[in-house]
Amino acid sequence: MSAEVNPTTLMKQQVGKAASDRVQSGSIVGLGTGSTTAYAIQYIGERLKSGELKDIVGIPTSFQAEVLARQYGIPLTTLDVVDHIDIAIDGADEVDPHLNLVKGGGAAHTREKIVDCLAEQFIVVVDSSKLVDKLGSVFAIPIEVLPLAYAPVMRAVEKLGGKPELRMGVKKAGPVITDQGNMVIDAKFDNIGDPAGLEKTLNNIPGVLENGLFVGVTNLVLVGEVIDGKPNVREIS
């Protein structure tokens, strides 16, 4: 007798499947990072294996996405080979009413922003707990920095009114290191009234590669919810 899958897992699976169903044959697909996006990668692979999808290639946004894509038989390519991306599927840590995002909980936001911004259609997959009235309500803003610059960047963030912390590793001594070999500063701001302005200001600090504010990039959000114990997916665009 198989174990019963809990509603939250079922909901993530359904959101991932709903996103994967939007991928068409012949597409170049940006493959995002995170637990819900992992299901989208799985279902894309299953559609390929069944023959429902043909002639697609993926561009992973992280080592995690690359490993999953290979596991599920999705051919991969790189940005120096292709000149466009048809569709990108990725998660988010926060989504505001204007479909602006905070990303970077998995420290992959630099590669994610490169891929997601190049996509003709960018689909975000989240559960309803990620919906907020204002960005920064729950999550700090991740900032990827060159290791030699982390201290001056933290001082610069403090001058902007932020409360920066160097992200430390779990099950390892020392800081989190990104796929690019850099560090991550998590900056908490009490009130982000102008996400677009803050995104540009943070990126202008010397030593910063990219931050986790994604403004004006998202085309569609697929939100997973558990209603009366049953999983449900709704669209926000």
Q: Beta strand 183-188 with 141-145: parallel, antiparallel or unpaired?
A: antiparallel
If you search the block for the tokens 């991740």, which residue do you land on? 142
If you search the block for the tokens 């988010």, which residue do you land on? 92
User: DSSP characters for 75-112?
Assistant: -B--TTT-S-EEEEEE--SEE-TTS-EE--TTS-HHHH
Q: Can you state the angle between helices 35-50 and 7-20, rounded to 10 degrees? A: 50
139 in Cβ contact with 94 (< 8 Å): yes
**Residues taking part in catalysis:** 112
Return the closest-CA partner of residue 20 out of 38, 49, 43. Answer: 43
85 in Cβ contact with 56 (< 8 Å): no
Q: Give, as one character, the DSSP assignment of residue 149.
A: G
Give the whole-angstrom CA distance, residue 96 versus residue 117: 18
Give the whole-angstrom CA distance, residue 186 versus residue 165: 5
